[in-house]
Amino acid sequence: MINKKESFLYRKAQISVFIILAILILIVLIALFVNRGGLTSIISGESPISQIEKCMQDNVKEGLGILSAQGGTLEPKNYYLYQNDKIAYLCYTEEYYRPCVMQKPLLKQSIEDELKTYLEPTMNRCLESVKSSFERKGYSFTYKKPEITVQIIPENIVVSSNVQLTVSKEKTESYQNIKTSVSSSMYGFIMTSSSISNWEARYGDSETLAYMLYYPSLKVEKKIRSDGSRIYILTDRNSLEQFKFAIRSMAFPSGVTGN
Amino acid sequence: MKNKFLLILTGILILSVISGLYLVKAADSTWPAFNSCCEKTINDAWCQNTDEKSCDTSVDPTTKSAYRKTPTSCDATSYCKLGCCVDSDEGLCMENTPQKVCQISTGTWLDDAQCNVAQCKLGCCILGDQASFVTQTRCKKLSALYGLTTNFNNAVTDEVKCVMMAYSQDKGACVYEIENQRTCKFTTRADCESIQGSQTGENSTSVDFYKDYLCSADELATNCGPTTDTMCVSGKDEVYFKDSCGNPANIYDANKVYSKSSSYWQKVVAKSNTCGGTNPKGGNINSKTCGNCAYLEGSICGKGTATYGENICRDLNCYNTKNGNNYKNGESWCEYTGETGNGLDEVGSRQFRHVCVHGEETIEPCADFRNEVCIADKISTSSGEFREAACRVNRWQDCIDQVTEEKCLNSDKRDCYWTAGLAYDGAGTTANNASATSIGETDTTGNTGIINGTGICLPDVPPGLKFWDEGDATKICSLGNSKQTVGYETNIFGTKKCKTNCEVLETKWLEKMNGVCSSLGDCGAKNNFVGRYTDDGVLWKSNGKLLNWDGTNK
């Protein structure tokens, strides 16, 4: 049993502990207040990372827009001109009565490479633009020319770059990587395009209705041109994003030979 | 015997129905004109059989030597040999890929153009409560992307069985604790087991799977309760009630909210026992009270105002389409821009397939030059007739070669029609090799080309021809030429009178000949698809002099 005196001493000890703790917390808070510049960002306004991310997101969308309209190629040479778009052939044959020959077997990888090619100079422009904006505010801004990686995954495009960026003004802040994510249906489009290309390479045609019934959110349009080329337009019914590509397979001439 | 000087003048009436519009000179090109296999063409196309001057001769950056070209077919080369290109990362197999193209794309090339190789063997990949019929590598990739354990079964050999496998999986309430709260996820047994597997160390609690139970079941005592909200579930057609944890419950039925029917929130109720049953008539389109949608009936879960929640069975059917009719979701039908069949198709006309999907009518043209025709049919289903259409190859090429009606009308092999009373004396010379002569053998009476006979086999839907350009239009249309000999007698007064084969002098015969011509292709005198008539494709001559359609001299 604890008697009254012991209970009093016990309570007193507890109060002392609380007082000590309170003093310690107060010291920490004062220290934080005095040196707050060292713990919070030295940058006033929007951080360089979010500025670069925003700039990159716009560029990714722009690049995707070009690639989506041109069969996944920035500057197609083997293309069908359809409504002023140079639509690259994914599977092609010059001959009549023959199934097509695959031109882009690893389409996802090819589009990732093309997007990377598009983003490299634009990334530099983004960095330069942010740099000059920071330098105007009196900051020192340095970065290493970044290595970009592009990943196309379901519903997203992820762009990473090891930018090694440093912003200084009295103190220094460093950033290693910038990761930008843009919502996109490109992954699904690539998978459908690959499947259609396989059908075309084997049978010389494909059934658009099968794809639309299987994937209710996907619209597949097939436009047959007079030279036998087929323009496919894939549309995501929810986001209204599109992907266009061309195929020339099992083409028939006018008459027998077309000559 | 009448003293009549009978002089039979062999008045040779050369009646040439030279068909084809604006045909000036015959094509001299042969087909195929291709003589080389180009590793790469100047247009950046890989592995094409083409003419040598189209080959790219620049330096290949991968080999540091010029792109190759061989005066042979690409099939005979090693670099352009077609095979299967395997994308080992995505688990995709691409057919008909040249070795070179696969190599530069960093794929794995295998010597089988149709990808009948072990790496491309398809099997059933179970992804949660859904399934995909893919390769094992693809299954691993998909499972990783969706954070699931790989569940691949290569014993399943068709897609339907695979989908059925996904449906037949045990589903129920997966109950576990998180942050000292007993919560629940409505999922498959396999997914529930993976939740158990993911819990390690001090955080691990028991994870229990209750088959056929809903997370809202009272006896599970979880923090998931009934609501009046609804949701659409990926891969499912119906509208589902949603519990307070965001899990789907049973199919939405306004009479089964918890306050009216608490039992509906305990265990899974089969579709057949919900409002509308297994095949709900009309798919409960726009119903405010029942969410039992049916894709084949033209409805799917989508946004809309219901008695409870904001989802209804959205209407996917097409109304008042271009031809004024209504069609169900998934139905397709043909459009002909004018008369078709029996050689009546107009110059420039084309056939189209219309498709109704997701309430939207899309138009797919069949191949140009009437190389494809649109065919349509109906099938009977439990919910009435279902209309289907497709573009398929127009098999007109060997019609003229058929000498019997039975062979002509064999729709398994060709698309032709039979006209009695005429014949083609050059039978055996098909449109495919019609270059030899424009008119076939002469018969005993001296008539050649299209002559009187038992019958002639002609394309049902005549092919379109590039009559305005150099091409084989001349050769094809010239199959319709006819040279007829007419016998005349002259009486003592010098009056000439037709004696034999006189019918060929009549306009009626010319019209009959024109029918043959226009069935062979864009030949003869006919309308184009905008209704403009031209007769430039018909030349009617008598002894070398051009005649008008009424038989008078031009």
Do the domain assignments include residue B371?
Answer: yes
The single-letter code of the amino acid at A162 is N
Comparing A20-29, B437-446, B531-540, the range with the smallest average pLDDT is B437-446
Check pLDDT > 60 for residue B251. Answer: yes
Comparing C-alpha atoms, which of B302, B289, B317, B301 is closest to residue B383?
B317
In angstroms, the Cα distances linking B167 to A212, B9, B161, B188 are 21, 87, 10, 10
* CB proximity under 8 Å: A 28-67 to B: none
Check pLDDT > 50 for residue B504. Answer: yes
Decide if B50 touches A, using CB distance below 8 A: yes
Last residue of a domain, one of B270, B286, B315: B315
When pLDDT is averaged across residues B318-323 and rounded to a whole number, the result is: 96
Do the domain assignments include residue B53?
Answer: yes
Give, in degrees to the nearest 5, the angle at Cα B254 between B249 and B258: 55
Comparing C-alpha atoms, which of B300, B157, B307, B144 is closest to residue B230?
B307
Give the pLDDT score at B441.
Answer: 42
Spatial distance between the Cα atoms of B421 and A108, rounded to a whole number of angstroms: 61
The reply to whether B388 and B420 lie within a common domain is no
Do the domain assignments include residue B340?
Answer: yes
The H or E element containing residue B165 is helix B159-167
Give residue-wise pLDDT tens across range B461-483: 999 998 888 778 888 998 999 99
If you average pLDDT over every residue of chain B, what do you get? 87
Phi, psi values for residue B230, rounded to 5°: -130, 170
DSSP characters over B357-369: ETTEEEEEEPPTT
Q: Name the residue with tokens 């109950």.
A: B175
DSSP character at residue B528: B
Give the pLDDT score at B24.
Answer: 28
The reply to whether B296 and B199 lie within a common domain is yes
Q: Give yes or no for a contact between B251 and B274, defined as CB atoms under 8 angstroms apart.
A: yes
* CB proximity under 8 Å: B 80-99 to A: 82, 85, 87, 89-90, 92-98
Give residue-wise pLDDT tens across range B196-247: 766 655 555 788 999 999 999 999 999 999 999 999 998 889 999 999 999 9
Q: Which two tokens stand for residue B325?
A: 């009719």
The reply to whether B211 and B310 lie within a common domain is yes
In the three-class reduction of DSSP (H, G, I as helix; E, B as strand; rest coil), residue B188 is classed as strand
Check pLDDT > 90 for residue B41. Answer: yes
Give residue-wise pLDDT tens across range B270-280: 999 999 777 77
Check pLDDT > 50 for residue B383. Answer: yes
Spatial distance between the Cα atoms of B378 and B375, rounded to a whole number of angstroms: 11
The confidence band for B5, taking pLDDT boundaries of 50, 70 and 90, is very low
Bridge partners (DSSP) of residue B83 are B97
In angstroms, the Cα distances linking A94 to A70, A205, A257 are 20, 16, 13
Check pLDDT > 80 for residue B332. Answer: yes
The reply to whether B181 and B79 lie within a common domain is no
Segment of A11-15, B24-28, B348-352 carrying the highest mean pLDDT:
B348-352
In A, minimum Cα distance to B371 occurs at A252
Low-confidence stretches of chain A (pLDDT beneath 50): 1-2, 33-39
Do the domain assignments include residue B151?
Answer: no
Phi, psi values for residue B122, rounded to 5°: -90, 150
Decide if B330 touches A, using CB distance below 8 A: yes
In angstroms, the Cα distances linking A157 to A88, A179, A185 are 21, 10, 9
Distance between A122 CA and the closest CA of chain B, angstroms: 25
Give the pLDDT score at B23.
Answer: 29
Last residue of a domain, one of B280, B315, B350: B315
Spatial distance between the Cα atoms of B114 and B91, rounded to a whole number of angstroms: 16
DSSP character at residue B193: H
Q: Name the residue with tokens 């030429």.
A: B481
The reply to whether B289 and B264 lie within a common domain is yes
Do the domain assignments include residue B325?
Answer: no
When pLDDT is averaged across residues B336-342 and rounded to a whole number, the result is: 93
Give the pLDDT score at B199.
Answer: 62
Q: Give yes or no for a contact between B53 and B504, defined as CB atoms under 8 angstroms apart.
A: no
Q: Give yes or no for a contact between B420 and B454, defined as CB atoms under 8 angstroms apart.
A: yes
Do the domain assignments include residue B226?
Answer: yes
Give residue-wise pLDDT tens across range B53-99: 999 999 999 889 999 999 999 999 999 999 999 999 999 999 999 99
The single-letter code of the amino acid at B75 is D
Give the pLDDT score at A9.
Answer: 57
Do the domain assignments include residue B256?
Answer: yes
The reply to whether B248 and B281 lie within a common domain is yes
The confidence band for B15, taking pLDDT boundaries of 50, 70 and 90, is very low
Give the pLDDT score at B79.
Answer: 92
Residues 6+ apart with CB under 8 A from B258: B216, B226, B228, B264, B265
Do the domain assignments include residue B277?
Answer: yes
A105 vs B94: CB contact, 8 Å cut-off? Answer: yes
**Beta strand spans in chain A (E):** 79-82, 85-92, 101-102, 140-142, 148-153, 156-169, 171-183, 218-224, 229-236, 242-248
| pTM of structure | 0.84
Q: Give yes or no for a contact between B368 and B464, defined as CB atoms under 8 angstroms apart.
A: yes
The confidence band for B296, taking pLDDT boundaries of 50, 70 and 90, is confident
Domain interval for residue B358: 332-393
Measured between beta carbons, which residues in chain B are less than 8 angstroms from residue A226?
Answer: 368-369
Check pLDDT > 90 for residue B494. Answer: no
B105 → closest Cβ in A110, A213, A252: A110
ipTM for the whole complex: 0.84
Q: How many domains does chain B have?
A: 4
The reply to whether B433 and B351 lie within a common domain is no
Last residue of a domain, one of B70, B104, B138: B104
Residues 6+ apart with CB under 8 A from B398: B414, B430, B431, B432
A104 vs B355: CB contact, 8 Å cut-off? Answer: no
Q: In what order do the strands lie in the sheet with B108-110?
A: B92-98, B82-87, B108-110
